[in-house]
Structure 1
Amino acid sequence: MASFVHLTDDEYDEVLVDDGPDNYDGTEEPKEDDGVEEPIVGMTFSSEEEVRSYYMRYAKQKGFGVRRRNSRQSEDGRVRWFTLVCARQGTAKSQASNILKPRQTERVGCKARINAVLNEDGGYTLSSVILDHTHYVSPGKARHFRCFKKVDARVAKRLEINDEAGIRTSKTFQSVIVEAGGYENVPFGQKECQNYIEKARQLRLGVGGVEALTNYFQEMQKKNVEFFYAIDVGPDMRLKNVFWADARSRAAYQSFGDVITFDTTYLTNAYKMPFAPFVGVNHHGQSILFGCGLISNEDAITFEWLFESWLKCMNDQPPNAIITEQDKAMKLAIARVFPTTRHRFCLWHIMKKLPEKFGSHSRYDEIKDSLHKCVYDSLSENEFEERWSALLETNDLRENAWLGLLYADRHYWVPAYVKNTFWAGMSTTQRSEGMNTFFDDYVHSRTTLKQFVDQYDSALRRKAENEAIANFNSFNTEIPCISHYPIEKQFQKIYTIAKFKEVQEEFRGFLYLTTSYFGGDGANFTYVVGDEIKVSDGFIKRVNYFVSVCGEDSLDITCSCKLFEFRGILCRHALRILAQLDKSEVPPKYILDRWRKDIKRQYVNVKSSYEATSNPEKQRFNRIQNCFYKLCSNAAKTERSCVKLISQLEQLKSEYPDDDSYGACSTAGLVTPIDGTTNNVLSPLVVRSKGRPTTKRRTHPVEKALKKPSTRRRLSTTEVQNPLIILYTYVEFIF
């Protein structure tokens, strides 16, 4: 029999102590037994777990917490002896950076403990017992000690399901409190729920870097061969860029890929790799994703790789038009990869730079007003040229480099130059930024690569559901017409609700229109339509537009405002002339298929990769839970039936033992280079990207919290290199 070794307090301090939230090593939560006898020297137990369980029950009865202090193993790996102490044992060593602001501690040097040694029978005998405490104990408050806090299996399942659904842990915890009838009836707190979710995410997501990312992509491609991905690695086999698109996005591009926006002004993950989505607009005016990338640089070579990968994904069919921010590298890459695509700069990104460029100028207000009139009020290219020259001459800005650059690129951003091209109503990269905001509910600045892609699927599921709801509403509800014109009724029957609202807004504009005949020749006529445009509360601008009507049977109608060419919606000026000419229908060429609700689009029936990722274990759990729901409801009506059901369930537990294999994950993520060799792909280096524009998008709570002075310990070099550790260190800020 091994002899007990008694250590002094000084010797205890030299032993590492596991003081984390789960220091109880998974032992079951102690049952609240009445009259647990006091420990005495000589008590024997069959196993180490039995000693722990007994002392935990005793501690909860008396009102103190328990920690495992230290232990020693023999050569065969068996524990020779171990010590369980009061949670308030030991002396705390201050780790505060400011000695005038010490941190709170529970260590007060309490001597209460038990020592157990291995006996000849293979069990354990108590060799030393100290019962007296140097502090007050309270049985009623014992539940607050960390050793007694453990999330039960029922709540754990609810936490995981709600977490994947995007429900905050704090909300789930509050529902548990309400169900239990108060905080005192719940053997754990909100922090324990958060800690559990951290570990569940880690198990669910597996490795946080490239290994898990490649595993995920390969698995998605097995489930759906139309899932596309491309990974770009450097000579050192370190990840540089990645692009992927699911099957539904690829199919949707065939219907709505005429115009896309591309934006990289959104940082998403621990490596500061810009999120680069390709976004379009569907028949409801909703943003639709055509794939996205994570890039490690913002130069022409990187953009070329991304655009070429995306073009290959879309079967070498380039878009008709693309909107990006004003960036030389993007401009060069688009010209090389999409030579036939009409390229436009984001107008908002350009105009927002005006305060930065001229904010300190003495004539700032005059320059701002003149530039706005030049850009927004010019209906033709000649009109823009005249106003631009007047702007430079009046304010002596001929030598201004920024304005000179803008003028050189005027064909890429000035409305008068680009309004002849169909842009689906988009003048800025607001679609991309809107998609970024949409992803804010799922990702943040410290999201790992694998977690980002995993949450990307959740975001797409919501997008698909929003479109399904819009489809349902368009077929099963309608908006009443506001006029008696049959043309409005035609749009009501054919267009989706969202697009019919836009058409109806043009009909409302009839109130502010006046028309007059300008002239004509044969079957060609021109009308002048005066419109009142509200600029501000005290200012209404009067503008005249010219509407040309050609032909009789095959009617062609054009307006100088170019709204139809730009948005695909007939303007109020053209509609007013058609109504004035007693036309009962709009010619078919002015009814765009991309806005119609009565067209069956193939991508709706395409099964996406993320739809095949449901967890079979969770499905089985839900089936079992549904069966038990009615049983539990009936048994809860009387105390007798409740006790009977519990007794029967206790007997069933032995037939379905716990399985700790949940959460096992693969770490084999390999990419085969061109030479055929197989190497491990390394995680990307943290990149220093270009300055992001100061957009007023919603800031994620994590980003706000990380800007505050941190009181947490400094991470070691090893931890900094691990993106998962970085994520889980700050994860409590999410909630």
Structure 2
Amino acid sequence: MAFWADARSRAAFEYFGDVISFDTTYNTNRYNLVCGSFVGVNHHGQSTLLGCSLMKNEEIESFKWLFQCWLRCMGENPPKGFLTDQCASMKRAVEACMPTTVHCWCIWHIMKKIPSKLNGYKGHADIEQEMSHVVWNSHSKDSFDRNWNDFLLNFGLADNKWLSGYSVYEVVEQVSSSIFNNFSVTYDSVAAEVKCQCLLFESRGILCRHALSVLSFEQVSQVSPRYILERWSKKVKRRHTHIKSSHDKPLMEPRSKRFEQLVFRSQNICEFASESEELTAILHRAYDNVMAEMEALKAKRKGTSSLSHEDANLESINELQSPPRIRTRGRPKNRLGSKLEKQIANATKKKKTKVLSEINLFDAASAAHSNCSQYQGHVINYQFRVPAAGDNSLGV
């Protein structure tokens, strides 16, 4: 097994390591090793690689070893959320290595399995449609549990092992504002808290237009700092943008450790010195003095038993050999891209999506003046309605 992460990945984890997606792929290399990748999302919504690995199997101990290596590399700072597929070995490894992290199943993997899991049922198209409705329109745990139980009873699916496993709220909630019909926004003027039922801030870290409309109506001139995440701030100095990806050959273990420690400490110095020409000149002078001192010490110790880079006996180091091919378990490679999957993919492409008209909530915020709100002391509840296409009015 092998694990890899460079200095740029470690630096990027400081800013984009709150929620991590981990997935494995098969048959993507000549040795049939399992390739696993740790991926985050940066402030542009782009995927950022935060580490990768090659494993010979998907057993619990393999995942434990990998997750422990990754955590040590990232400074023993576990993420807040960890997204995986429904692999039982991954789940147990995450629970053992990251007990404080919220482990979620990716909703994309779950919904992708619907056609293959329910194709044998009569009226499976209606089942798939109703299941999608329950998943995307349940905006709280209680409503999801209630709607899910009703769904299983109405279609007689209570005995289905695959579906009954989701009676507990274990899917990742991805909220689309074009699906909900009503939104409820609660504003607490004392605590300066605003919370919308669409949960856009909880899922993406961005205040939704409904919450901003309420703040505008309440004449709030400044958004609370708790709603401005560090990843969106222009004032944050992102060190990972100054670090080049490293593909150098690995050094010997003791020297590699010393090298990593020096690089880690020098990053802050270089970043600070690059702010002006004067600071850069100071660092250059200090660098020249230190180099002269180290060269003098090296010359004095020449001929001793201390090992330097030039005097290292590289022939005594065992070169890495190619790993043996791994015989994969389960279905063969030609199973990928089956006829059923191709039919499903073609059918999905033919579906037309309806685009709702954009709503200018700030212009319509004045409409909240006459119809708003339920007061409970300093807490105000607003009700938003998404109009039909062509209707630019706002119901509050």
TM-score range normalised by the length of the shorter chain = 0.5 to 0.7
* Aligned position for 1:670: 318
* Aligned position for 1:343: 103
Q: Does 1:270 align with 2:30?
A: yes
Q: Does 1:546 align with 2:181?
A: no
* Aligned position for 2:284: none
Map of 1:11-410 to 2, 5 A cutoff? 241-407=1-167, 410=168
Kept in 1: contact 2:30–2:325 (CA 8 A) = no
Deviations 1:434-477 (A, max 9, x none): xxxxxxxxxxxxxxxxxxxxxxxxxxxxxxxxxxxxxxxxxxxx
- Residue from 193, 197, 203 that aligns with 1:566: 203
Kept in 1: contact 2:106–2:172 (CA 8 A) = no
Name the SS of the counterpart of 2:221 in structure 1.
Answer: coil
- Residue from 152, 162, 171 that aligns with 1:413: 171
- Residue from 241, 246, 255 that aligns with 1:604: 241
Given residue 598 of structure 1, which amino acid in structure 2 is its aligned partner? Answer: K
Map of 1:615-630 to 2, 5 A cutoff? none
Q: Return the alpha-carbon distance in structure 2 between the equivalents of residues 278 and 534 of structure 1.
A: 30
* Distance change in 2, residues 1:567/1:330 (3 Å): same
Unmatched segments (≥5 aa) in structure 1: 1-240, 420-426, 428-531, 536-541, 614-665, 672-679, 697-735
* Distance change in 2, residues 1:597/1:267 (3 Å): farther
- Residue from 313, 319, 323 that aligns with 1:683: 323
Deviations 1:503-554 (A, max 9, x none): xxxxxxxxxxxxxxxxxxxxxxxxxxxxx9656xxxxxx62221111125x5
Q: RMSD of the alignment, in Å?
A: 2.8
**Shift of residue 366 of structure 1?**
2.0
Superposition misfits of 4+ residues, deviation over 4 angstroms:
532-535, 666-669, 689-696
Map of 1:321-720 to 2, 5 A cutoff? 321-407=81-167, 410-413=168-171, 415=173, 534=178, 543-552=181-190, 554-610=191-247, 670=318, 683-689=323-329
**Shift of residue 612 of structure 1?**
10
Kept in 1: contact 2:200–2:206 (CA 8 A) = yes
Name the SS of the counterpart of 1:323 in structure 2.
Answer: strand
**Shift of residue 311 of structure 1?**
1.2
TM-score by length of 2: 0.63
Q: Return the alpha-carbon distance in structure 1 between the equivalents of residues 21 and 140 of structure 2.
A: 25
Q: Return the alpha-carbon distance in structure 1 between the equivalents of residues 187 and 24 of structure 2.
A: 43
Name the SS of the counterpart of 1:684 in structure 2.
Answer: coil
* Distance change in 2, residues 1:260/1:557 (3 Å): same
Q: Return the alpha-carbon distance in structure 2 between the equivalents of residues 246 and 322 of structure 1.
A: 21
* Distance change in 2, residues 1:609/1:580 (3 Å): same
Q: Return the alpha-carbon distance in structure 2 between the equivalents of residues 695 and 314 of structure 1.
A: 36
Q: Return the alpha-carbon distance in structure 1 between the equivalents of residues 225 and 150 of structure 2.
A: 43
**Shift of residue 686 of structure 1?**
2.1
Given residue 545 of structure 1, which amino acid in structure 2 is its aligned partner? Answer: F
Given residue 318 of structure 2, which amino acid in structure 1 is its aligned partner? Answer: L
**Shift of residue 338 of structure 1?**
0.8
Kept in 2: contact 1:283–1:597 (CA 8 A) = no
Kept in 2: contact 1:297–1:687 (CA 8 A) = no
Number of aligned pairs? 273
Q: Could you say which structure has the larger radius of gyration? A: 1
Q: Return the alpha-carbon distance in structure 2 between the equivalents of residues 361 and 567 of structure 1.
A: 36
Kept in 2: contact 1:298–1:689 (CA 8 A) = no
Given residue 225 of structure 2, which amino acid in structure 1 is its aligned partner? Answer: P
Q: Return the alpha-carbon distance in structure 1 between the equivalents of residues 206 and 62 of structure 2.
A: 37
Q: Return the alpha-carbon distance in structure 2 between the equivalents of residues 295 and 695 of structure 1.
A: 24
**Shift of residue 303 of structure 1?**
0.8
Q: Return the alpha-carbon distance in structure 2 between the equivalents of residues 545 and 330 of structure 1.
A: 36
Given residue 382 of structure 1, which amino acid in structure 2 is its aligned partner? Answer: D
Kept in 2: contact 1:270–1:686 (CA 8 A) = no
Deviations 1:137-166 (A, max 9, x none): xxxxxxxxxxxxxxxxxxxxxxxxxxxxxx
* Distance change in 2, residues 1:325/1:608 (3 Å): same
Q: Return the alpha-carbon distance in structure 2 between the equivalents of residues 398 and 252 of structure 1.
A: 45
Q: Return the alpha-carbon distance in structure 2 between the equivalents of residues 310 and 388 of structure 1.
A: 36
* Distance change in 2, residues 1:609/1:414 (3 Å): closer
Deviations 1:653-698 (A, max 9, x none): xxxxxxxxxxxxx998628xxxxxxxx76623323055589689xx
Name the SS of the counterpart of 1:271 in structure 2.
Answer: coil
* Distance change in 2, residues 1:695/1:320 (3 Å): farther
Deviations 1:30-73 (A, max 9, x none): xxxxxxxxxxxxxxxxxxxxxxxxxxxxxxxxxxxxxxxxxxxx
* Distance change in 2, residues 1:389/1:607 (3 Å): closer
Kept in 2: contact 1:546–1:560 (CA 8 A) = yes
Deviations 1:215-237 (A, max 9, x none): xxxxxxxxxxxxxxxxxxxxxxx
Q: Return the alpha-carbon distance in structure 2 between the equivalents of residues 313 and 292 of structure 1.
A: 12
Given residue 30 of structure 2, which amino acid in structure 1 is its aligned partner? Answer: A
* Aligned position for 2:281: none
Give the % identical residues.
Answer: 41
* Distance change in 2, residues 1:372/1:248 (3 Å): same
Given residue 603 of structure 1, which amino acid in structure 2 is its aligned partner? Answer: H
Q: Return the alpha-carbon distance in structure 2 between the equivalents of residues 249 and 605 of structure 1.
A: 12
**Shift of residue 606 of structure 1?**
3.2
Kept in 1: contact 2:32–2:325 (CA 8 A) = no
* Distance change in 2, residues 1:356/1:667 (3 Å): farther
* Aligned position for 1:132: none
**Shift of residue 267 of structure 1?**
3.3
* Distance change in 2, residues 1:570/1:612 (3 Å): farther
* Aligned position for 1:618: none
Kept in 1: contact 2:134–2:144 (CA 8 A) = yes
Q: Return the alpha-carbon distance in structure 1 between the equivalents of residues 147 and 243 of structure 2.
A: 51
Given residue 304 of structure 1, which amino acid in structure 2 is its aligned partner? Answer: K
Given residue 255 of structure 1, which amino acid in structure 2 is its aligned partner? Answer: Y
Deviations 1:569-618 (A, max 9, x none): 101210111122223332221111112233112223335424899xxxxx
* Distance change in 2, residues 1:668/1:367 (3 Å): farther
**Shift of residue 266 of structure 1?**
4.5
